[in-house]
Amino acid sequence: MAHAAHADGSQAHGSGHAAGHGAGHAHEHVIIPMRTLVTVLVLLMTFTGLTVLAANLEIIFATIFELKIPQYINVLVALSIAAVKSIIVAAYFMQLRYDNPLNTMIATFTILVLTFFLGFTMIDLGSRGTLYEYKAEQVIPGGIGGVAIAGGVQVPSNVSIAQFAREQADKKIEQMISEGTPLPKFLGVRLVHIVDELLAAKKPVPVAYAAYLAGKPELFKAAHAHGKDHTDAHGDDYGSAHSSSPDVSRVKTGITLPELVPAGAASGQDAPGRDAGPGTGPGGDDPDPK
């Protein structure tokens, strides 16, 4: 290629051309060599691997050496790698390195504005507690009740959307089990949690529930593996923070089925067992009445 020969391997000599075209045209159109593009791609892939590795290594180290690695380290490492990757993309793929400096100024100014947004928000959030501590009482965790959710269903005003979701799921589980319909996996996991909560509260478990869970060890596995991946790494951070959450009251050890199912109940004749179950009275389906 004719023009490929004359300037290979050297930067654009902007000043030399500026004399001919005036100060406004000091830059040239750079054709980035294929080798540079491939190098950039390989670098980006490496950094992607690195960020995944860092996140997973952190969990492994924390588990093996029983370290408590603070959360901000995880965030700092991940975002630093992301920043390096973005700078590489902007400098080479987006050609800012070879470009009119005005474009770099626009980009830098935008990033500056972004840090203002984040910085002032953090100053506000960080100091808000001292001023408005009392306002925390007004917050309903999990969304505001008293709204009509998707499907036109009305959420009671004293119940959050998240809590309402759980109550609706519990009702659905009860209905599906009484109809004999198999539950989708995530509802099966919820059923294990319901049983856990009942056991933790030392209440009898409905026989139909136990009968449904019999022979489905994978549900127990899924339910009890669930909160584990982070409680392992940062164990103590969570236990206390979750005092209000149903996850804490959960029985962590695996439940053996025989102790759940009263003798003879699993084989037929589950009607009396259901009547004996708690929370099946009129309107009292919530297994967790607090």
Partner 1 sequence: MTTLPHDQLEPANSAAPTDGGGTYHDRYQPAHHFKSREHEFDAVKMGVWLLLSTEILLFAGLFVFYAIMRMKHPEAFVHGSSLLDWRWGLINTVVLLLSSFTAAASVRDAQLGRQGWLKVNLFLTFLFGGAFLAIKFIFEYLPKISEGKLPGIWYSYPNWVDANEPLWWGLYWGATTVHASHVIIGMGLYLWLLRRAYKRHFGPRHYNGVEGVALYWHIVDIVWIFLFPMLYLIH
Site for partner 1 in 225-284 (CB under 8 A): 226-227, 229-230, 233-234, 238, 241-242, 245, 247
Stretch that binds partner 1, among 208-216, 220-228, 267-275, 279-287 (CB under 8 A): 220-228
At closest approach, how far in Å is the CB of 281 from partner 1? 21
Measured in whole angstroms, how far is the alpha carbon of residue 180 from the centre of its chain?
A: 33
Nearest to 212 by CA among 241, 248, 187, 244: 187
Within 88-147, the residues that bind partner 1 by CB under 8 A are 89-90, 92-95, 98-100, 102-103, 106-107, 109-111, 113-114, 117-118, 121-122, 125, 141-143, 147
**The token pair that represents 150 in the structure block:** 């998707």
Residue 148: strand pairing partners: 154
Cβ contacts of residue 183 below 8 Å, gap of 6+? 173, 176, 177, 191, 212
User: CA 153 → CA 59, 142, 148, 150, distances in Å?
Assistant: 41, 17, 5, 7
Stretch that binds partner 1, among 5-13, 202-210, 251-259, 273-281 (CB under 8 A): 5-13
Check binding of 195 to partner 1 (CB under 8 A).
no
- What backbone phi and psi angles, to 5 degrees, belong to 14? -60, -40
Binding residues for partner 1, rule CB under 8 A, total 100
CA-based Rg of the chain, rounded to a whole angstrom?
A: 30
Q: Does 48 bind partner 1 (CB under 8 A)?
A: yes
Which one, 102 or 263, has the nearer CB to partner 1? 102
Which 49-68 positions form the footprint of partner 1 (CB under 8 A)?
A: 51-52, 55, 58-59
